[in-house]
Amino acid sequence: MQTRLLTTIQDVAEPAHSALIIVDPQHDFCSEKGAMAQRFGFDMKEIREAVPKLNALIEACRAAGVMVVWVREVFSDDKMHPNQKALWGSGDDIWLIREDGDGIAWYDGMIAPARGERVITKWQYDAFADTELHLLLQSRGIKTLLMAGFTTNVCVETTARHGYIKGYHIVLASDCAGAPTRAEHEASVFNVKTYFGHVATGADLAAIWSRSSSAVRARS
């Protein structure tokens, strides 16, 4: 039997088979006092401005019955590859998202995970590598990943690319993700839209679900 192809964003983002993947909304990646800003001198304005929109999308997903998955990154000396250590330090010299540091905490502007929402810990950019994420999604019949979080051009895009290769439909919630610079963010938006799936705002997705719910009620 031929599988029906999901080509429109309305079909792709159907709540019953979609999961919101919230990537790394952590202190070190979002706060002006976090390690990324302090080490590289990044202006975190673009990221901070995305946080309220991400919070709104999380609430919209909960209301629509979309599965919500939180992802956090931790750099641990016994789980880092040599190439990671060359960039981010090893042992006591690890300076970003240390497993024993405050940088791994959720950014204080984020709403908290709700009871029952799974938290996946990843050890590098990719949320699928060496984690249970794929098994979790498969067990719930998920076909679509709604990608959000930080930073757009590193961990969000890396996870989206791997998700696409694994057969998931990809939707980037473009205003619910961010990077230190607009150029980095827009490059990833272009990549996803052109090569990997769909791009929509959080408000776009909420509106799709609202219209769908209204249509169901009208037919009842």
- pTM comes to 0.95
User: Any idea what DSSP says for residue 157?
Assistant: H
Average of pLDDT values for 10-35?
A: 97
How far is residue 20 from each of residues 82, 170, 172, 178, 216, measured CA to CA in Å? 31, 10, 10, 16, 22
Annotated catalytic residue within 24, 28, 126, 175:
24
Q: How far apart are CA 75 and CA 79, in angstroms?
A: 7
pLDDT band of residue 211 (cuts 50, 70, 90) is: confident
Rounded CA separation 66/61 (Å): 5
The verdict on whether 155 is a catalytic residue reads yes
Question: Among 202, 135, 157, 154, which Cα is nearest to 175's?
Answer: 202
Residue 126 appears among annotated catalytic residues: no
Distance CA 108, CA 12 (A): 32
Average pLDDT over residues 155-172: 98
d(CA 85, CA 76): 10
Distances (CA, A) of 174 to 7, 85, 138, 159, 213: 19, 31, 25, 15, 23
pLDDT class of 212 with cuts at 50, 70, 90: confident
pLDDT at 51: 98
C-beta separation of 97 from 123 below 8 A? no
Per-residue pLDDT of 171-198, as tens digits, reads 999 999 999 999 999 999 999 999 999 9
pLDDT of 220 higher than 60:
no
Set 28, 53, 61, 122: catalytic member: 122
24 catalytically annotated:
yes
From the candidates 30, 61, 155, 176, which is the catalytic residue? 155
Q: Indicate the pLDDT class of residue 142, thresholds 50, 70 and 90.
A: very high
Which pLDDT tens digit goes with each residue over 118-134?
999 999 999 999 999 99
Task: Give the model confidence (pLDDT) of 71-123 as tens digits.
Answer: 999 999 999 999 999 999 999 999 999 999 999 999 999 999 999 999 999 99
